[in-house]
Amino acid sequence: MMRKFQTLAALTGLVVAAACGTKEAPGPLEPTGPTGRIRFVNLITDTTRGRVNAILEGVPFGVNLTYTQSTPATLPSPSTAIYSAILTGPRTLVLKRTADTSVVVATVSFTVAAGQDQTVYAVGGAAASAVTSLVVNDSNPVVASTQARLRAVNLSPTAGAVDIFVTAPNADLAAATPTFANVAYRGASAYASLAPGTYQVRAAPAGTAPTARAAAVSVNLASLALSGGAGSTIVVADRNIGGAPLIAFTLADR
């Protein structure tokens, strides 16, 4: 395996860092040119094709990734960083079915930009539909310990555009203001700054009248703990075979 990673480092500069969070310690596989950082998230709504191996520039990047799992975070220790540093330029990620690696589920082409963090999502696949991709630019500046950064990505075709409310637990939605308003399918919100603490996250169709919001909630994440100095992304998605009931999960960005 080390030989494979060394080969990738020589060809494309892939780093599987030996640290968690957004700071990777320099090591023997450190790219020698400008880099960006990449993370992959599996949101394939097909139980046959949905368990995949991710191959980045011909070298394994993630193995046996199930619905909502991400890489490199799921790689064996110590290679468990949130992102991997990749040399800038055009790159290709091939997704192969874990149970039969002769089956290519999707091929994703993207461009790595210097100093930019990016998340590559694989989405779709329900009812034999095509698996497509979405590449989202992430922003991970240093955050004061008195603040937490949060944003939302909507990858639920069933939900359509949504208003997302991040409130104190059990707060009255009729009196709340959307934290992220009108987040379209395949859309990403701007980041919001919040005080560290525990929140409830609820989503309703965009523009729902205040008095009707409670009955229209399609996603309810009852408890979300935000730590000071951290950055996170809430992802709204269909269930693993597509459609409702919808789910929400959180990715640690920093």
DSSP string, 137-183: EE------TT-EEEEEEEE-TTT-SEEEEEESTT--GGG---SEEEE
* pLDDT, the chain, mean: 89
Same domain, 155 and 53: no
**Number of domain units in the chain:** 2
Same domain, 94 and 159: no
Range in 9-18, 42-51, 98-107, 174-183 the model is least confident about: 9-18
Confidence of residue 14 (pLDDT cuts 50, 70, 90): very low
Confidence of residue 17 (pLDDT cuts 50, 70, 90): very low
CATH of the domain at 246: 2.60.40
pLDDT given for residue 196 in this prediction: 98
Same domain, 211 and 152: yes
Same domain, 101 and 196: no
**Boundary of a domain, candidates 117, 138, 159:** 138
Nearest CA to 95 among 122, 74, 128, 66?
122
Range of the domain at 191: 148-252
Same domain, 10 and 134: yes
With contact defined as beta carbons under 8 Å apart, do 206 and 160 qualify?
Answer: yes
**pTM, 2 dp:** 0.88
Same domain, 76 and 121: yes
Enumerate the β-bridge partners of residue 158: none
In a domain, 160, yes or no: yes
Burial class (CB in 10 A: 0-12, 13-18, 19+), 146: exposed
Which secondary structure element, helix H or strand E, spans residue 5, and what is its range?
helix 2-11
Order of strands, edge to edge, in the sheet holding 104-112?
Answer: 59-65, 52-56, 89-97, 104-112
**Boundary of a domain, candidates 82, 103, 138:** 138
In a domain, 143, yes or no: no
